[in-house]
Structure 1
Amino acid sequence: MTESIIIDCDPGVDDAAALLLAFPSTELEILGITAVAGNIPLEKTEANARFVCELAGRSDIRVLQGCGRPLLYPQRAGVTVHGEDGLGDIGLQRSSSPPAERAAIDFIINQVRAAPGEVTIAVLGPMTNIAVALAIDPGIAPLIKRIVFMGGAAFCKGNVTERAEFNFYFDPHAAQAVVASGIPMVMFGLDVTHKAIITPERTERLKRLGRIGAVAADMLTSYGAGDPCLHDPCVIAYLIEPEIFSGVEGFVEVDVQSDLAMGQSIVSVSQRELAGRTPNCLVMTDVDHDRLFALLEERYARFLAQAA
């Protein structure tokens, strides 16, 4: 059965790799891509989303601009591992297509209301767009099928501070608003994504898969020099082949009180920790990394087959 998804992202090299995994996957119907500020500023994330669509021959997929800053912070710094252009600074030639329209929030609301219980939101960046959509129209919360997101660090250290993972740290208030919404959720935090390691052997295999594979390999090689973990594609891989991953049910909260722990994900799994609360999230903790990279290769190879 095909799953209807909105991909909310901040491309970013690993976001781009995730989009390229989603595009040829017939298990997924991509309703649209909503861009948000995060890894890099919004004007670059939306441009990169449009570029990746063009690169893959998927300009039929709508790209829309969302929020350009966190809910309560005027700005937050991005991360340097993605390069100045956000796609690894590997010399990609961009088109001169016009910027996407600033309609991401309305798009999310309208798509969910048009198909109650059928739309999954795959969140690859900070949760600002989703939190704003829920604030404008709280009634969409019970209509969203589920949210599958990359963010947080359940049982391990953070990657931007000692306690916080980048997406949660960038907009902790948005993350807390979304995880507290009652929407069914699946979390891909650093616990699992740190087990999906980009290696020279794996990028070398991607290079054999035509232009898409070569571009992806070059981006991941540049990015992997600073962060060797394949974060965002885990979300898309789960939607295609959930058996690759395993995890535990837990109750997820995000610290928005303490300066020292701002953005920390607090995950309760034992009966004592839950204290009568019902788990609100499936928290992924492990991955069959060989199957994950095999899936990446198999789907990137489909671009080569289409071009033949």
Structure 2
Amino acid sequence: MDRFLFFPGLPLLLLISWLFPCAEGKAKELVVIDQDGAGPGGSDMQSLLLALHSPEVELLGITVVSGDCWREEGIAHTLRLLEIAGRREVPVVGGAVYPLLRTRKETEIWEELFGKLFYKGAWNKAYLGKELHPPLSFPEDPFRPPAPVEGEPALRPSPRFAADFLIETARNHPGEVTLLALGPLTDIALACRLDPEFSQRIKKLVLMGASIDPRTSDPEWSTNPRFEFNFFWDPEGAHIVLTSPWKRLEAYPVDAGIQAVMRRELLSAVSEGNSAVGRYLNQYAWIGLPMWDEVAVAGWLDPSLILQKETLFLDVDVSHGPGYGNTLTWKPGSEPGLGQQRVEVIRQIDPKRFYRFFRERISQTPSERRTAE
């Protein structure tokens, strides 16, 4: 203790800092996002921006799976977004190109038997019934994506594979990582099967998925309310994830996601000024479409945005019949007990508070974010 003779208060300060390491500020949430990366703009990219603009989040990486678009296209949009947002340090890791079992041909046969699907993601021939700028294209070759209209990224993705990255990250930070699953669940299903302890190492799985009883006249759900694209794209992958033993599982179904829509007033508010992100959104945001993924990220960041939730057991219909890929639900006590997990299902959010939250986060300048940190 001789070295402290001239600083009698120093040992006490050291003791306080050792006992209360977060006394000067709350520790950041360690996060990995698994996303299908359609863009530019739109719910996939805007949810990434929301996480990137949140000072309480330490984004360890983004894994990209096929779904709304093919993996290679999603990787390009994600890398370019990171460049525009000034976050080149975040690794981007490619994941599964195809679902575990479902194929384009099988889906076409299914449509002949049970009726045409409104939306099929990367398998669509065209995007039906929506006006987008720029319009989405759906190339049949997954490995020849169209040139990104927002510009080719100079950044390159990690050479690793998404499932390996997820497993290693969970092992390096056991019980500390929140996994935001905002696309089809193929990558996460592979991680669960490759490492049976993976799900137990994750602090919380937050997924944008499922559909229960959305109040909408949109033809995508009006006659098939249990349809939800992320589950539909890879039903077997979703089934594996929903029957794996997570510590905590929170789901934002279509019911919640359609309650917030990108409006011109919101776009004007978040794209004011001359920031690179503002210019990006002003040019590429998808006006009039629900903010599914942004709602999931915002609700996890600020639970006060949630007005109604309930505990349910979830699974996916994998029978390859007319309900293939649809959401299955049970009240506690009526579940079949085949591995289904308790899920906190968010049924209703506060749209006004959500819009304010989104606007405040996205409108922050880099200097304001550093100050908040």
The two structures have a TM-score, normalised by structure 2, of: 0.74
After superposition, the Cα gap between the structure-2 partners of 1:31 and 1:85, relative to the gap in structure 1 and judged at 3 Å, is farther
- CA separation in 2, counterparts of 1:140 and 1:175? 16
Counterpart in 2 of 1:132? 190
Counterpart in 1 of 2:271? 207
Q: Contact conserved, 2:313 with 2:332, CA < 8 A, in 1?
A: no
- Give the aligned length: 301
Counterpart in 2 of 1:289? 351
After superposition, the Cα gap between the structure-2 partners of 1:85 and 1:165, relative to the gap in structure 1 and judged at 3 Å, is same
- CA separation in 2, counterparts of 1:234 and 1:24? 15
Q: 1:252 aligns with which of 293, 314, 321?
A: 314
Q: Contact conserved, 2:186 with 2:238, CA < 8 A, in 1?
A: yes
Q: Contact conserved, 2:244 with 2:341, CA < 8 A, in 1?
A: no
Counterpart in 2 of 1:34? 63
Q: Kindly report the root-mean-square deviation, in angstroms, between the aligned alpha carbons of the 2 structures.
A: 2.7
Q: What CA deviation, in whole Å up to 9, does each residue of 1:162-211 have, x standing for no partner?
A: 23111110011111110110212100110100111222222222221533
- CA separation in 2, counterparts of 1:203 and 1:104? 32
For 1:22, give the aligned amino acid. A
Counterpart in 1 of 2:211? 153
Q: 1:56 aligns with which of 53, 63, 85?
A: 85
Deviation at 1:66, TM superposition (A): 0.6
Q: What CA deviation, in whole Å up to 9, does each residue of 1:206-235 have, x standing for no partner?
A: 221533134224332xx335xx21011112
> Any idea what SS the aligned residue of 2:322 has?
coil
After superposition, the Cα gap between the structure-2 partners of 1:256 and 1:276, relative to the gap in structure 1 and judged at 3 Å, is closer
Deviation at 1:276, TM superposition (A): 8.2
Q: Percent identity?
A: 28
After superposition, the Cα gap between the structure-2 partners of 1:204 and 1:77, relative to the gap in structure 1 and judged at 3 Å, is closer
For 2:283, give the aligned amino acid. D
Q: Contact conserved, 1:5 with 1:29, CA < 8 A, in 2?
A: yes
- CA separation in 2, counterparts of 1:291 and 1:90? 33
Larger radius of gyration: 2
Structure 2: tracts of 5 or more residues without a match: 1-26, 105-119, 139-146
Query: Which stretch shows the higher mean deviation, 208-217 or 288-297?
Result: 208-217
Q: 2:299 aligns with which of 229, 238, 261?
A: 238
Deviation at 1:145, TM superposition (A): 1.0
Deviation at 1:49, TM superposition (A): 1.1
- CA separation in 1, counterparts of 2:336 and 2:168? 37
After superposition, the Cα gap between the structure-2 partners of 1:279 and 1:62, relative to the gap in structure 1 and judged at 3 Å, is closer
Query: Which stretch shows the higher mean deviation, 127-136 or 237-246?
Result: 237-246
The two structures have a TM-score, normalised by structure 1, of: 0.89
Counterpart in 2 of 1:69? 98
Deviation at 1:159, TM superposition (A): 3.2
Deviation at 1:269, TM superposition (A): 2.6
Deviation at 1:6, TM superposition (A): 0.5
Q: Contact conserved, 2:184 with 2:231, CA < 8 A, in 1?
A: yes
